[in-house]
């Protein structure tokens, strides 16, 4: 660590997030390292260290001979200011060396509103923002994560994208770089070669042409022989996949300060607004036996006192009973708090929640997303009022008195009746409490929150309009005016951030300059309320002559070429269209276990069958 | 209840007091030394650090009380098992039973290093020495009810000023650390306030030893 940094650290909040040195951090002898990777997470240490994907890939890369992968996070504003004032470039935690010294600079991108952080990190590292201005093989910038499924907003800045799950493709990419560096390839030569790895997309090899009306007309390959379709990569057999049992244990508190065990991948539910539900398919199992062993190994190695089982919908994990039957006694013996979020309101889950209560009583949270059964059918959220109320009744009679209910406003086909349906449902929950509560003196708290619907690529709603912020706020106020009980706390998300999310989720290459302009105007850490400033963005869109409405309220035509069409997540466009049609007919599509709906994602599997 | 003596140096100085307690709780778990848990609704493993150390300050004399659940483990084995699973900069020096009562802890030795990037100004050591020879030296101190003025002289038992090289001056002091307590950085604050022409560019602080009221080493 430099003397300069030592002097800066006492002046910033939570300095431990900048020093590295945690338990299980990986250090290597530079003499034996051929490829240095700076793995950048475009948000703070506390968020990034809570990200499971980053922990897996950190382990995967560091398992490679001759490769040293180090971590880099977005500095908080006080540190950023100190860095700028003192000309201290962005550094990686393990070696404390500047990012600029690294061969490869990797980003994992899980959220559209961290795009300014990516550019800001490149700037703080002292690197040119634009891919075309970085001419050497050294400092090559690549990115993966959910946002890579529509990479176009970042096409100017990132040299290449890696699609899908990173366990295998990352090794192929880094190995190729190892060879390229040894043989002294140019950046161009490397890009040509890396583009041959399935799942790699090099945006500079294609030109996007637009029609008179502004829609995307053509995607023209500029280099002969480059692919025109990019299929995401997946790991087929999760039991054999790399799992980091020796995880870094942060020395300072992070957001999810606990061990995290992923129990399976994919989702059988098909909620029509949910990007993860479609883009993470097909469903792949992991066996309870392997999971239990990994849990024990992880807990013993890390010394954590909390373990969480994670997945998109843990109740749908086939081995849940077997795993929890083993884990609950183990955790009780070792005084480990076992948490199982993302449970559905079914009987087994209720029973499981009871059994988990031996340690601590957490809150009860439902995400009905919509207020009426009709609209829940439209979005294919298979959660009925009866299920919610039965679960609430059981919970209230068991002494709970705190419920959170999450909804979205602005969903396709939503009417005022649907909005008021939310109020109706909330009153039924209150009535259920009155009928079932064991101790009414403690009172009931119902937290209701509404979010502004953001249409996402690779979902049946990818073509949908987003309603205007004014209309969204009108619906919020309408709902608010129908909440009379003092038990209700109602929060609604501001529309500005969700509007920008909608722009960048479905953005094309023309929004790239807007991100750069907004960052230059001061936009950063947009996901943090204390920093989000909508006016930077409004000004940036104005300055770049880009119309937000084009990406939000306009909606996309089904016959339109979509910027993310070349990205293949397994689910076919035809299936998404079919699901959209069913949505408009308020027809539910049963979950994948009741019957395969034919989404197409099983075609990604060669060795195993879809576990839906 | 057993006690351990540990040091906190290097990178680890940036770990806050609360984070350090969590770090030890996990280290005990990793070392397969189960801690006794507090009773009640939300059981917590029991560890207690005697004198919370400010972030950024080094120490070679930290004390941590703990209580193990289950069979007794030899003290040396506890020390070695913990050291195998701790982070760089946190190192257990000794483990022992029957430590003195924390309420008898009264004084500590600290070393402040005043760094002067453009060289130590002529006469710094003399001026600093003269400053601490004054009969009273009020310095502002942060408290729960906002800043209050505190006379630091009655809490300084010994003080020695040395210029080691062209760029640093060290202040070795023995100060009160309980009822009342003096944060050693207040010595640097006094230099800043009363000797602005000798204000250092940076100050490093290190805690080196603990004593009872009679000046005997506190264990």
Q: What is the mean pLDDT of chain A?
A: 95
Give residue B43's pLDDT.
Answer: 78
**Looking at chain B, which residue has its C-alpha nearest residue A246?**
B30
Contacts of B12 in chain A (CB under 8 A): 21, 251
CA A451/CA A369 separation, integer angstroms: 9
Q: What CATH number labels B104-212?
A: 3.30.70.100
Q: Alpha helix locations (H) across A268-415?
A: 275-279, 288-302, 320-333, 347-356, 373-378, 385-397
The three-point CA angle A438-A441-A444 to 5° equals 80
Q: Which residues pair with B4 in a beta bridge?
A: B64, B95
Contact A284, A266 (CB under 8 A): yes
CA A206/CA A561 separation, integer angstroms: 15
Question: Is B30–A303 a contact, with Cβ atoms under 8 angstroms apart?
Answer: yes
Strand ranges (E), A215-323: 216-221, 230-231, 259-262, 306-310
Residue A347 has pLDDT above 80, yes or no: no
**Axis-axis angle for helices A115-125, A77-85 (nearest 10):** 30
The pLDDT of A471-482, averaged and rounded, is 97
Could you tell me the CA-to-CA distances from B159 to A75, B61, B162, B168, B195 in Å, in that order? 40, 19, 10, 16, 17
- Residues of chain A that touch chain B, judged by Cβ-Cβ distance less than 8 Å: 1, 7, 9-10, 14-16, 18-23, 249, 251-253, 257, 300-305, 334-335, 360
The pLDDT of B152-179, averaged and rounded, is 95
Residue A288 has pLDDT above 70, yes or no: yes
- Count of residues in chain A: 612
**Axis-axis angle for helices B17-30, B75-85 (nearest 10):** 110
B217 to chain A, minimum CA–CA distance in Å? 30
A18, A23, A252: residue with CB nearest B19: A252
Q: Mapping DSSP to helix (H, G, I), strand (E, B) and coil, where does residue A312 land? A: coil
A174 to chain B, minimum CA–CA distance in Å? 29
Q: How far apart are the first and last CA of chain B?
A: 13
The pLDDT of B94-99, averaged and rounded, is 94
The residues spanned by each domain of chain B are 3-99, 104-212
Give residue A359's pLDDT.
Answer: 45
CA B12/CA A542 separation, integer angstroms: 48
Whose CA is closest to A232, among A573, A606, A601?
A601
**Range with lowest mean pLDDT among A312-316, A546-550, B194-198:** A312-316
Question: Is A304–B89 a contact, with Cβ atoms under 8 angstroms apart?
Answer: no
Whose CA is closest to A296, among A314, A322, A319, A323?
A323
Burial of residue A263 (CB within 10 Å: 0-12, 13-18, 19+) is: buried
**Range with lowest mean pLDDT among A137-146, A203-212, A524-533, B137-146:** B137-146
Contact A38, A93 (CB under 8 A): no
The pLDDT of B99-113, averaged and rounded, is 96
Q: What is the pLDDT of residues A490-510, one digit of tens each?
A: 999 999 999 999 999 999 999
Q: Which residues pair with A171 in a beta bridge?
A: none
Question: Is B26–A305 a contact, with Cβ atoms under 8 angstroms apart?
Answer: yes
Whose CA is closest to A258, among A201, A340, A147?
A340
Give residue A112's pLDDT.
Answer: 96
- Residues of chain B that touch chain A, judged by Cβ-Cβ distance less than 8 Å: 10-12, 14-16, 18-19, 22-23, 25-32, 34, 37, 41-43, 45, 55-56, 85-89, 201-202
Contacts of B16 in chain A (CB under 8 A): 14, 16, 252
CA A104/CA B102 separation, integer angstroms: 52
Contacts of B87 in chain A (CB under 8 A): 21-23, 251
Specify whether domain A239-361+569-612 bears CATH 2.102.10.10.
no
Question: Is A304–B29 a contact, with Cβ atoms under 8 angstroms apart?
Answer: yes
CA A599/CA A583 separation, integer angstroms: 15
pLDDT band at A362 (very low <50, low <70, confident <90, very high): low
pLDDT band at A391 (very low <50, low <70, confident <90, very high): confident
The pLDDT of A209-237, averaged and rounded, is 97
A15, A22, A253: residue with CB nearest B87: A22
Contacts of A301 in chain B (CB under 8 A): 30
CA A214/CA A209 separation, integer angstroms: 9
Whose CA is closest to A295, among A281, A284, A282, A309?
A309
pLDDT band at A33 (very low <50, low <70, confident <90, very high): very high
The pLDDT of A542-568, averaged and rounded, is 97
Give residue A345's pLDDT.
Answer: 74
The pLDDT of A440-445, averaged and rounded, is 89
How large is the ipTM?
0.93
Contacts of B25 in chain A (CB under 8 A): 303, 305
Contacts of A252 in chain B (CB under 8 A): 15-16, 19
What is the CATH superfamily name and number for domain A3-164+166-231? Cobalamin-binding domain (3.40.50.280)
Strand ranges (E), A473-515: 488-492
Helix (H) / strand (E) containing A60: helix A52-63
CA A146/CA A275 separation, integer angstroms: 9
- Two tokens, residue A270: 């098909």
Give residue A358's pLDDT.
Answer: 52
Specify whether domain A363-506+556-567 bears CATH 3.30.750.200.
yes
Residue to mutate among B8, B10, B11, B112, with most A CBs inside 10 A, is B11
Contact A27, A81 (CB under 8 A): no
Q: Alpha helix locations (H) across A157-287?
A: 166-183, 187-194, 275-279
Question: Is B87–A23 a contact, with Cβ atoms under 8 angstroms apart?
Answer: yes
**Range with lowest mean pLDDT among A98-107, A247-256, A603-612, B41-50:** B41-50
Place of tokens 């990173």: A166
The pLDDT of A358-367, averaged and rounded, is 69
Could you tell me the CA-to-CA distances from B91 to A16, B1, B9, B46, B47 in Å, in that order? 17, 20, 9, 19, 16
Q: What are phi and psi of A146, to 5 degrees?
A: -55, -40
Contact A178, A67 (CB under 8 A): yes
For residue A347, the tally of other CB atoms under 10 A from its CB is 12
Could you tell me the CA-to-CA distances from A237 to A14, A168, A285, A479, A611 in Å, in that order? 40, 12, 8, 46, 11
Q: What are phi and psi of A169, to 5 degrees?
A: -65, -35
Contacts of B89 in chain A (CB under 8 A): 21
Give residue A401's pLDDT.
Answer: 85
Q: Mapping DSSP to helix (H, G, I), strand (E, B) and coil, where does residue B176 land? A: strand
The three-point CA angle A519-A523-A525 to 5° equals 115
CA B210/CA B110 separation, integer angstroms: 9
CA A160/CA A167 separation, integer angstroms: 17
A282 upstream amide cis, omega within 30 of 0:
yes
Residue A361 has pLDDT above 70, yes or no: no
- Two tokens, residue A109: 């991108």
Q: What is the pLDDT of residues A45-75, one digit of tens each?
A: 999 999 999 999 999 999 999 999 999 999 9
Q: What are phi and psi of A296, to 5 degrees?
A: -60, -45
Q: What is the pLDDT of residues A510-548, one digit of tens each?
A: 999 999 999 999 999 999 999 999 999 999 999 999 999
Q: Same CATH topology for A3-164+166-231 and A239-361+569-612? A: no
A348 to chain B, minimum CA–CA distance in Å? 26
- Two tokens, residue B181: 């307590």
Contact B211, B108 (CB under 8 A): yes
Give residue B30's pLDDT.
Answer: 96
Q: Which residues pair with A452 in a beta bridge?
A: A409
pLDDT band at B54 (very low <50, low <70, confident <90, very high): very high
The residues spanned by each domain of chain A are 3-164+166-231, 239-361+569-612, 363-506+556-567
Contacts of B114 in chain A (CB under 8 A): none
Answer left, alpha or beta for residue A86, where phi above 0 means left and psi between -120 and 50 means alpha.
Answer: alpha
Place of tokens 């204000």: B199
Contact A145, A170 (CB under 8 A): no
Question: Is A10–B56 a contact, with Cβ atoms under 8 angstroms apart?
Answer: yes
State which CATH number among 3.30.70, 3.40.1620, 1.10.390, 3.40.50 fits the domain covering B3-99.
3.30.70
Place of tokens 């084009």: A550
Q: What is the pLDDT of residues A251-266, one digit of tens each?
A: 999 999 999 999 999 9
């Amino acid at each position: 660590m430099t003397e300069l940094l030592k002097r800066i650290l006492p002046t910033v909040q939570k300095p431990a997030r900048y020093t590295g040195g945690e338990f299980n951090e990986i250090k290597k002898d530079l003499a034996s390292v051929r490829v240095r990777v700076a793995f950048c997470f475009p948000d703070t240490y506390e968020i990034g260290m809570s990200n499971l994907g980053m922990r897996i890939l950190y382990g995967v890369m560091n398992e490679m001979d001759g490769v040293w992968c180090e971590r880099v996070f977005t500095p908080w504003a006080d540190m950023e200011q100190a860095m700028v004032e003192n000309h201290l470039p962005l550094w990686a935690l393990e070696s404390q060396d500047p990012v600029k010294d690294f061969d490869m600079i990797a980003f994992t991108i899980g959220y559209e509103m961290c795009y300014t952080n990516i550019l800001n990190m490149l700037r703080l590292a002292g690197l040119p923002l634009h891919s075309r201005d970085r001419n050497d093989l050294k400092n090559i910038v690549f990115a993966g994560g959910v946002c890579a499924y529509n990479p176009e907003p970042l096409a100017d800045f990132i040299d290449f994208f890696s699609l899908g799950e990173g366990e295998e493709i990352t090794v192929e990419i880094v190995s190729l770089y190892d060879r390229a560096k040894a043989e002294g390839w140019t950046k161009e030569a490397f890009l040509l070669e890396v583009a041959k790895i399935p799942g790699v997309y090099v945006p500079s090899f294609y030109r996007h042409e637009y029609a008179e009306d502004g829609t995307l007309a053509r995607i023209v390959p500029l280099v002969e022989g480059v692919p025109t379709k990019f299929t995401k990569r997946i790991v087929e057999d999760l039991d054999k996949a790399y799992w980091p049992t020796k995880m870094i244990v942060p020395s300072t508190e992070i957001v999810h300060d606990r061990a995290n065990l992923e129990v399976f991948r994919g989702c059988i539910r098909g909620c029509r607004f949910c990007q993860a539900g479609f883009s993470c398919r097909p469903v792949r199992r992991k066996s309870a036996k392997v999971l239990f062993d990994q849990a024990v190994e992880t807990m013993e190695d890390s010394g954590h006192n909390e373990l969480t089982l994670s997945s998109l919908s843990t109740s749908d994990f086939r081995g849940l009973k077997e795993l929890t039957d083993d884990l609950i006694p183990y955790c009780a013996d070792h005084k480990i708090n076992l948490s199982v979020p993302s449970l559905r309101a079914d009987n087994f889950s209720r029973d499981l929640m009871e059994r988990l209560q031996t340690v601590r009583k957490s809150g009860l949270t439902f995400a009905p997303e919509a207020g009426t059964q009709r609209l829940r059918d439209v979005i294919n959220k298979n959660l009925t009022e009866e299920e919610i109320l039965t679960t609430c009744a059981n919970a209230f009679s068991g002494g709970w008195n705190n419920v959170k209910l999450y909804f979205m406003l602005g969903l396709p086909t939503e009417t005022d009746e649907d909005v008021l349906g939310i109020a109706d449902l909330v009153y039924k929950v209150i009535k259920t409490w009155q009928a079932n509560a064991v101790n009414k003196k403690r009172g009931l708290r119902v937290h209701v929150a509404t979010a502004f619907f953001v249409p996402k690529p690779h979902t049946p709603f990818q073509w949908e309009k987003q309603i205007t912020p004014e209309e969204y706020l009108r619906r919020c106020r309408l709902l608010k005016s129908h909440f009379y009980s003092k038990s209700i706390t109602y929060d609604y998300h501001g529309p500005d951030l969700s509007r920008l999310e909608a722009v960048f989720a479905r953005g094309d290459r023309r929004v790239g300059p807007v991100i750069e302009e907004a960052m230059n105007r001061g936009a950063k850490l947009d996901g943090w309320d204390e920093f989000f400033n909508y006016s930077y963005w409004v000004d940036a869109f104005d300055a770049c002559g880009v119309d937000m409405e084009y990406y939000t309220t306009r909606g996309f035509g089904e016959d339109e070429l979509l910027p993310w069409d070349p990205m293949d997540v397994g689910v076919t466009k035809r299936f998404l269209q079919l699901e959209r049609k069913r949505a408009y007919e308020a027809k539910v599509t049963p979950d994948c276990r009741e019957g395969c709906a034919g989404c197409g994602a099983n075609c990604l599997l060669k060795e195993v069958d879809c576990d839906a | 209840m057993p006690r351990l003596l540990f040091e906190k140096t290097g990178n680890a100085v940036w770990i806050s007091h609360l984070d350090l307690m969590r770090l030890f709780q996990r280290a005990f778990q990793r070392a397969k030394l189960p801690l006794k848990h507090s009773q009640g609704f939300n059981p917590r493993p029991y560890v207690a650090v005697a004198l919370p150390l400010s972030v950024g300050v080094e120490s070679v004399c930290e004390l941590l009380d703990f209580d193990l659940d289950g069979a007794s483990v030899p003290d040396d084995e506890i020390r070695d098992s913990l050291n195998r699973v701790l982070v760089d900069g946190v190192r257990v020096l000794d483990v022992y039973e029957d430590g003195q009562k924390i309420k008898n802890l009264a004084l500590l030795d600290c070393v402040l290093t005043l760094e002067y990037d453009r060289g130590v100004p002529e006469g710094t050591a003399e001026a600093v020495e003269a400053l601490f020879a004054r009969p009273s030296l009020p310095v502002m101190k942060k408290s729960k009810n906002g800043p209050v003025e505190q006379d630091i002289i009655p809490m300084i038992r010994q003080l020695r000023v040395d210029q080691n090289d062209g760029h640093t001056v060290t202040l070795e002091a023995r100060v009160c650390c309980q009822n009342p307590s003096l944060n050693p950085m207040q010595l640097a604050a006094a230099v800043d306030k009363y000797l602005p022409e000798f204000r250092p560019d940076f100050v490093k602080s290190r805690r080196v030893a603990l004593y009872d009221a009679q000046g005997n080493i506190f264990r």
